[in-house]
Chains A and B, each alone.
Chain A
C-alpha cells in the first residue's frame, strides 16, 4: 500500500518537474518578479494541509501549529495573488499609443 503511494507520488513529481521546466523556461526576464510572486502564491497550496491539521480533532499542539500554518499560508495565498496582479496590471506594451510615430516624424525634419 505505502509503496504504491510512493511510486505514484514520484510519477507526479517527475512529470510536474518536466512540465515546470518547459513552462517556466518560456517566461521572459521581463516577468521574473511576477513569476516569483506567482509561484510563491501557488506553492501556498500547502494551506490545504494546514487546514486539515488545524481542523482535525487531534490535540492542541497539532492544532496550534495548524492555526499558525493556516495563517501564514493564507498570507501568501491572498497577498501573493493580489501583488502579482498589481504588478501585472502595470506592464503595458505602449502607453497612449502614437507617441513613437510622432517622435519619428519630428526627427526627420
Chain B
C-alpha cells in the first residue's frame, strides 16, 4: 500500500498547486507564475499515477501521451490568436471526450465485462459523467464548426424545436434514473450515451454566433463537471477538485456573460435569439453618413481623447495590429487613446483583451465598460471597429428592442463617432442600429484592417 500513499500525496500536492495557480490569475503580474505552479502540479499527479499498482503495461499510455502532447503542442504553437475561440471549443470537446470515455470504459468493465451490479452512488456518478461529457463533446464540436465558419453561424431553428429538445433530454434523464436502480441494463446505457451526443448537437444548433460567449462558458462548465463526476466514480479527490474548479469557473463566466447581455441562461439556450423576425426596433429616421478616411484622420489628429471600441469584426479582419499602429501615431501626437472592452465583445469571454495584448497594447489602456462609460462625454472621437450590438443605443432607449436592457458602451455620448464596418448590412443579430443614423456618426466602410492602416498614414501626413 506504500505506493497508494505516495500517489495520494502527489494528488494532494496537485490540488493545492491548482488552487494557487488559479489564484495567480487574479492579477496579470502573478498569472504566469501561478500557471507554472499549476503545470507542476499536473506533472506531479501524472508521475504519481504512473506508479499505480493496477498498471501492468505502459505501451498504450506512452503512445497516447506522445500523440496527445504532440497535437497539443502543435496546436498551441501554430494557432493564430484570432482562432482562440475555436481552439477553446475544441479543447472543451477533448476534455469532455476523455471524461466520458473513462466513464464508458468503467461501466463496460464493471457492468458488462465482470457482470457486477454497480452500487447506486457509483452508477449515479458514471451517469452524470457520461451525460455531461457526451453532450459537451458534440455541443463543443458544433460550436467549433460555427466559429470556424464551417457551418452557418446563424441560429438553426424549426417548429417544435424546444419540445423535441426537452423530450429528448427527459428521455435521457429517465434512462439515467432507471439505470441507477437497474445498473445491469447495459444496452440502455449505450442508448443514453447516444442520446446525450445527439442532445449536444441539438442544444447548440439553434444558438447564434453572437451568443457564443455564453455557450463557451457553459461548455467549459459542463466539461469540468464531467471531470468532477469522474472523480466521484473512481473515488479520486484531485479529479473532484480540479473538475469542480473548472465547473464553477465556467458557471461564473456564463452568469457574467448573461448579465452582460441582460438575458437569462434559459433565454440564451432556448430563445434562438437573432431570428430576423423578432425585429421590433423603432423606425429609424435619417440617413447613414459615409465619411472619407482623410476627414476622419483630421478629426482623430486634433482630438484630445480617442476611444477605440473593438468587436468581433476586429477579430475577423485581423485588425488588432492596425489598431495599435493607428493608436501609436495618435499617442505620438499627444492624443489620449483608450480601448473600451464590452464583456461580450467577440466570441468568448476576454476575446478582445487577448487580441489587443497580442498587438502589444498595454493592459493599462484597456477599460471595462463601467470604467469607460462615465468618460464618454469627455471623448472627442469614439471609433467603433466591427462592433454592433454592444454599442446599440436601442438597448438603453427602446424597451421594445430584443436587446433592451443590455448594458452598452455608450459611444453615442461621445462628441463624434466613427464606425468601421464592412458594408451597409445589419450585424449578426440582424438588428437595426440607430447609432449609425445619428448626425454625429460617420460610417467608414471597407475592410477594418486596411481602413485603419489608411487612417494611420493620413494622420501622419496631417
Instruction: Please report A residues at the B interface, Cβ cutoff 8 Å.
Output: 2-3, 5-6, 9, 12-13, 16-17, 19-21, 23-59, 61-63, 65-95, 99, 103-104, 106-107
Contact = CB atoms under 8 A, between A and B. Distances in A.
A54 B61 contact: yes
B354 A71 contact: no
A86 B87 CA distance: 14
B101 A65 contact: yes
Contact of B244 (A16, A62, A71, A84): A16
Interface in B184-224: 216-217, 220, 223-224
Given A9-B232, A29-B349, A31-B350, 9 more contacts: A39-B250, A40-B223, A46-B98, A48-B49, A55-B52, A55-B55, A63-B60, A77-B46, A79-B72
B341 interface: yes
B220 A66 contact: no
A40 B226 CA distance: 12
A52 B364 CA distance: 46
Interface in B221-277: 223-224, 226-228, 230-232, 234-250, 252-253, 256
A29 B353 contact: yes
Binding site secondary structure of chain B: helix
A46 B95 contact: yes
5 contacts: A47-B98, A73-B94, A74-B65, A77-B68, A94-B364
Given A33-B348, A74-B72, A27 B26 contact: yes
A57 B357 contact: no
A68 B64 CA distance: 7
B181 interface: no
Nearest to B235: A5
Contacts of B226: 46
A92 B360 contact: yes
A93 B364 contact: yes
B157 to A, nearest CB: 27
B458 interface: no
Given A73-B94, A80-B91, A83-B75, A36 B63 contact: no
A72 B360 contact: no
A57 B256 CA distance: 46
B58 interface: yes
Interface residues of B, number: 121
B8 to A, nearest CB: 12
A69 B98 contact: yes
Contacts, number: 382
B401 interface: no
A57 to B, nearest CB: 4
Nearest to B74: A79
A46 B249 contact: no
B54 interface: yes
Contacts of B217: 36
Contact of A73 (B52, B56, B68, B247): B68
A38 B48 CA distance: 21
Given A48-B49, A75-B71, A76-B91, A16 B249 contact: no
A73 to B, nearest CB: 4
A37 B88 contact: yes
A36 B35 CA distance: 12
Given A71-B64, A75-B71, A77-B42, A43 B19 contact: no
Contacts of B52: 51-52, 55
B77 interface: yes
Given A42-B38, A83-B76, A71 B67 contact: yes
B216 A36 contact: yes
A34 B332 CA distance: 31
A84 B14 CA distance: 18
A82 B354 contact: no
Contacts of B39: 41, 81
Interface string B396-411: 0000000000000000
